[in-house]
């Protein structure tokens, strides 16, 4: 009689253990399954790269049909070029203003934090732009484009936070 009761308790314990294992399995693999954000990964990967790539190849609207790359090269070297006729902006100021306008219409409009830098030495950037209200706390995804200049290489970097 006592042995039969012991067997029943053992059977009950086995059932409880099986139910517990099943519960853990359900919680681990079904309830705690985090949704994957494929689009976010794709967008942040494409955004920094495409923004910089497109910007560098863009033709300046009122600066002798020079590209932004050529203006940046001048900015890092001699600043001989002047754009926009009467207002006469030097290449650095022209690139700065143009990029500021483009970023206001793109990343700022989409509420994306950014930091744009153009430099020969990273400690002394020629152009530095970031969100006026929300500065970038840390670079999460950034893209650097090297541009050859007479004295070496200059870099253009866009960080998306």
Partner 1 sequence: MKNAQIQIGETIAVLFVFFILITIGFIFYSKVIRSNIEIEKDELSQLQSIAAAQKVLFMPELQCSEENIIVDSCIDLMKLRALSRDTIRKENELHYYDLFGFSSIEITQAYPSQPGAYILYSKPLAGARSKFVTNIPMGLYDAADRTRKFGILKIETFIS
Part of the chain binding partner 1 (CB under 8 A), chosen from 1-9, 48-56, 72-80, 143-151: 48-56
Contacts with partner 1 in 77-136 (CB under 8 A)? 98, 101-102, 105-106, 110
Contacts with partner 1 in 4-43 (CB under 8 A)? 26, 30-31, 33, 35-39, 42-43
CB of 42 to partner 1, least distance (A): 5
The Cα 101–Cα 49 span in angstroms is: 18
Report the interface residues with partner 1, using CB under 8 A. 26, 30-31, 33, 35-39, 42-43, 46-47, 50-51, 53-55, 57-59, 61, 65, 67, 98, 101-102, 105-106, 110
């Amino acid at each position: 009689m006592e042995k039969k009761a012991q067997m029943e308790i053992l059977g009950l314990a086995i059932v409880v253990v099986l139910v517990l294992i099943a519960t853990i399995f359900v919680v681990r693999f079904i309830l705690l399954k985090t949704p994957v954000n494929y689009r976010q990964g794709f967008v942040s990967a494409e955004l920094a790269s495409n923004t910089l790539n497109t910007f560098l190849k863009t033709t300046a609207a009122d600066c002798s049909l020079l590209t932004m790359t050529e203006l940046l090269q001048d900015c890092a070297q001699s600043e001989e070029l002047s754009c926009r006729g009467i207002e006469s902006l030097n290449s650095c100021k022209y690139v700065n203003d143009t990029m500021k306008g483009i970023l206001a219409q793109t990343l700022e409009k989409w509420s994306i934090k950014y930091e744009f830098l153009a430099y020969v030495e990273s400690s002394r950037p020629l152009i530095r732009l970031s969100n006026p209200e929300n500065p970038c706390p840390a670079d999460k995804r950034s893209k650097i484009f090297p541009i050859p200049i007479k004295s070496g290489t200059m870099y253009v970097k866009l960080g998306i936070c």
